[in-house]
Amino acid sequence: MDTAQGRYWLSEPDHPGKKTSACELTGICGGGAGIVLFFLQMAHATGEASYLDDARRGADYLTAVWPNLLGKSVEPSRANLSFYEGIAGIAFALSETSKAMKEPRYQQAALAATDAVAQPMGTETGWTDPAHTADLVLYLLYAARTFHVETYRALAMEAGLRLVAMGKPHECGGMSWQNAGVTSAGQPSLAAEDETAHVSFTLARLFEEVQDSTFLNTSLEGAAHVQSVVTGSGALISYTSASFLSASHPEFGPAITGRARLFYQLYKVTGTDCYREQAEALANAAIRAEESVRHTPNSWETVRQSSGAASLLDLLLDLSAALGNLEYVEIAASLASRIVEQNTDFDGKSYVWDQRFPWIVPSALSAQTGYLTGAAGIGAALVHVALAQRGDLRPIVFPDSPFSDSCKQFTIS
């Protein structure tokens, strides 16, 4: 949708009248920030100017409207500041747009948005959600490196110490972080260990950045807990829930991706082979799960970045680049072919993917456009496979990825 401020995208084009919040319209998860990141990668992959124009128009809109997400009282745990739903993610998208296009106005907007995120980070209020806090820590580390602002790194360290204090010893062993088993949307969490893995990864990243052993030791405690609740060779924690008896699927989406990233990050900072082996075991288990779910009655398969095959695809490409395992590229290419086969012709000229969102309505199908929830993230994963096959994989590296050493940023001329 084109406006005087720029361009935005409907989250569900087949339901144009559906009410959408400002965060849903602009965030990385399901809104314009994620779609801008997708078009930047499409422009790099194809060289077509039209994709660059899409990204520019989307970035213009984000630049104009992000201040509208600021309320009178903004706390760090609120979604409008968060990375995947709020202002931190918009700042990331604008920063990456500035890098790709060499246009300072987007960097200026990204800095202003980052300052808006950083301001409440220095307060004592709102620190109740470990996952949101961890997201903001990771973004601030990215911002400190990108903008050369040491204050952002100091705030990330302070928030990291608060994360350490929020950890609780767990009866199964190690330490855990849980926001009372409730997600940011107020829905029951189907995999409570995801939050612990995410916080532990964040603390390991902080250790890599500032070499404070407090962060590493606490991260290792979190990893010990994650290891204590899985059994076998990279065993999976099922998303199947008593509330969703009509549908089930294996967790080869962000849950397993998050745990694999945690163990690879620990391998990076400790050099301990068992953590690398654990990351590979999780990826291999996810491959087996993805194969089996397509042949299991009463199961359903998703292909999006959130809880879906696109997330697994990107993990395999990352591990391939990091570990030199070319077999993962071949498996990713096969997975990409299956993803393409599952598309739906939307209007005779574009594709969408009908997906289930079981934590909302298990039987409902929705064709969305966002990065985590729909076509943008699926398209980005397909682009990554194509680039990997031609030896030119240079994706945009998100702050929650441990694989930046294996990737390079790209520039669009």
- Residue ranges of the binding site: 29
d(CA 390, CA 410): 15
Which residues belong to the annotated binding site for Zn(2+)?
29
Please say whether the beta carbons of 328 and 283 come within 8 A: yes
Handedness of CA 357, 360, 363, 367 (dihedral sign): negative
Residue 134: partners with Cβ closer than 8 Å, 6 or more residues away: 163, 198, 199, 201, 202
Please say whether the beta carbons of 268 and 216 come within 8 A: no
First to last CA, the chain: 26
**What is the three-class DSSP state of 323?**
helix
Please say whether the beta carbons of 235 and 287 come within 8 A: no
CA neighbours within 13 Å on the CB side: how many for 135? Answer: 25
Quote the tokens at residue 240: 């199947």
Q: Is 171 exposed, middle or buried (0-12, 13-18, 19+ CB in 10 A)?
A: exposed
Strands (E) across 285-358 are located at 344-345, 351-352, 354-357
Please say whether the beta carbons of 117 and 146 come within 8 A: no
Residue 185: partners with Cβ closer than 8 Å, 6 or more residues away: none
Please report how the helices 326-341 and 273-293 are oriented relative to each other, as an axis angle in degrees rounded to 10.
30
